[in-house]
Amino acid sequence: ENRNGNDALLTSCCLVAGLYPNLASLIRPSREMRIRGGKLITKDGDSCRPSSSSFQCERIRNATEGGKDAYVVYHGKVMTLGVSKGSKDDEKKKQEPFLDDINFVSRFAILLFGGEIEIRKNFLVVDNWLKFKVDDKNKGSNSSSKPEKLPDKGQVNALLIQELRKEMDNVMLKHIMKGQVDENQDEMDVECQRVIDVVRCLLAA
């Protein structure tokens, strides 16, 4: 029995793990940059449109100018041959990439189940491509008459996320080896569930 089978947040992690590196970043429309409608940028730099068969198609096309960064996983990329008219009798054929079967995923799903991550100060960089800033939400909440030298909490949080990813790798390994190792299965299940609970809290944040 899969107790987390109906959890959409955890299911999104499975999509990232199974489809990575098929990942794209949403580029929002911009009057200043003359970008009409939302587009998707893949790691190789292709500017893509969502396939009309994707149930997320309208959401991407109608994306607003303002909003949070957004990321999607996709099943495949196809090149469609379009025709653009130039001069009177001149027609140029232009290939345009489209992405199939798109699903939005959170940045934490990417950090925990995507590619290799690297810490740069208080940033986490995935495969030397996507750069996520890890903030300290409590920054400045505690005042003191004497300044103290404290570590950068953003960098500490980045390290914690990196360590959580290692714990997730251990959880998956234990489930693969379940029944083949001489360990208390009940204790192992409890330990694994604690890690999964922490991951779910992070995804819901």
113 band by pLDDT with thresholds 50, 70 and 90: very high
Kindly tell me if the per-residue pLDDT of 166 is higher than 80.
yes
For a pLDDT cut of 90, what percent of the chain falls above it?
Answer: 41
pLDDT digits (tens, 9 = 90+) for 46-82: 999 999 888 899 999 899 888 888 999 999 999 876 6
pLDDT at 146 over 50: no
Q: What is the pLDDT of residues 21-51, one digit of tens each?
A: 999 999 998 888 777 888 999 999 999 999 9
Per-residue 3-state assignment (H helix, E strand, C coil) for the chain: CCCCCCCHHHHHHHHHHHHCCCEEEEECCECCCCECCCEEEECCCCEEEECCCCCCHHHHHCCCCCCCCCEEECCEEEEEEEEEECCCCCEEEEEEEEEECCEEECHHHHHHHCCCEEEECCEEEECCCEEEECCCCCCCCCCCCCCCCCCCHHHHHHHHHHHHHHHHHHHHHHHHCCCCCCCCHHHHHHHHHHHHHHHHHHHHC
pLDDT at 117 over 50: yes
Q: Is the pLDDT of residue 160 over 50?
A: yes
